[in-house]
Amino acid sequence: MAGKRSPRYPRLPLNRAVELVERLYKGAHQTKVDVDTAARVIGYTNSSSGAAAVAIGALRQYGLVDGLRGDVQVSDIAMRLLQPMNDEEKVHALHEAARNPETFGQLLAQFGGELPQSNEPIKAYLVRQQGFSPGGAEEVVSTLRETLSSLPASPRPSLPVATEDDEFTDLLRTPPKTVASASLSAAAESTAGELIVLPLGAGCKAELRFVGDVTATAYDRLVRHLELLRDMLVEDQDKGAD
């Protein structure tokens, strides 16, 4: 009886895939090339070798190349990594690429954006819910952990432009790093359920209520939630303008 075949997943970590797409960009820039040519450019004899197939497959799953099965081309997300306008754009592109593989995205969603310390619940989820073989689940966890460990920290959102509101203007005069540190420090020292009010502009304030211990990880997740809400608001405004 044939062994159980696991669903598709990148068999190389993101940092290795970025190295390969950098070679492809240096050799072919954004020109569309056939898979055999791409394999040779990134260091393999031809695309039929197992190692080359693994490499090209990883580039596709991370979204670092576009194209049908017969050809590839350095993608837009890869260009934001290789030729970024600024550090923030590169960091966002890395985080986007890390979540592009369907299996990786499902795992991060299942565990609230951060993997548990133990591999056992992750492997159990992959085997029981996603149909992976035990060996495939082990490899997925290893590749995803290496990918996440190579990611730089997500950039903090920049402070908005100053307004006439005196309280808000005073906040803006404080260096961003100090504001973030002060807010986290105040939250960490506050008692459970205490309300924290942050001025955001004329007639606009945010009210935060922390329950439980405020850790650096919890703070990062709060920032990501706020960034998502901001993006949703921008999309809604753009749709309304059309």
Chain segment 85-136, per-residue pLDDT in tens: 999 999 999 999 999 999 999 999 999 989 999 999 999 999 999 999 999 9
**Which single residue is written with the structure tokens 């895939």?**
17
Confidence tier at 57 by pLDDT (50, 70, 90):
very high
Pair (107, 60) in one structural domain: yes
In a domain, 198, yes or no: yes
Pair (26, 126) in one structural domain: yes
Mean pLDDT of the chain, nearest integer: 80
Q: Which helix (H) or strand (E) holds 149?
A: helix 134-149
Q: What is the pLDDT of residue 194?
A: 59
Q: What is the pLDDT of residue 171?
A: 45
pLDDT at 172 over 70: no
Please, how many CA atoms are within 13 Å of residue 71, restricted to the half-sphere of its CB? 8
Domain boundary among 149, 184, 211: 149
pLDDT at 2 over 90: no
Pair (73, 123) in one structural domain: yes
The span from the first CA to the last CA of the chain, in angstroms, equals 57
In a domain, 154, yes or no: no
pLDDT tens digits, one per residue of 133-167? 999 999 999 999 999 999 998 765 444 444 445 54
pTM equals: 0.64
**Domain containing 170: what range?**
166-241
Pair (41, 113) in one structural domain: yes
Confidence tier at 234 by pLDDT (50, 70, 90):
low
Pair (177, 110) in one structural domain: no
Pair (173, 143) in one structural domain: no
Pair (18, 132) in one structural domain: yes
Q: What angle (nearest 5°) sits at the alpha carbon of residue 61, between those of residues 232 and 220?
A: 40
Pair (61, 115) in one structural domain: yes
- Phi/psi class of residue 8: alpha, beta or left (left: φ > 0; alpha: ψ in -120 to 50)? beta
Please count the structural domains in the chain.
Answer: 2
Pair (125, 203) in one structural domain: no
Do 17 and 59 touch, CB atoms closer than 8 A? yes
Pair (57, 92) in one structural domain: yes
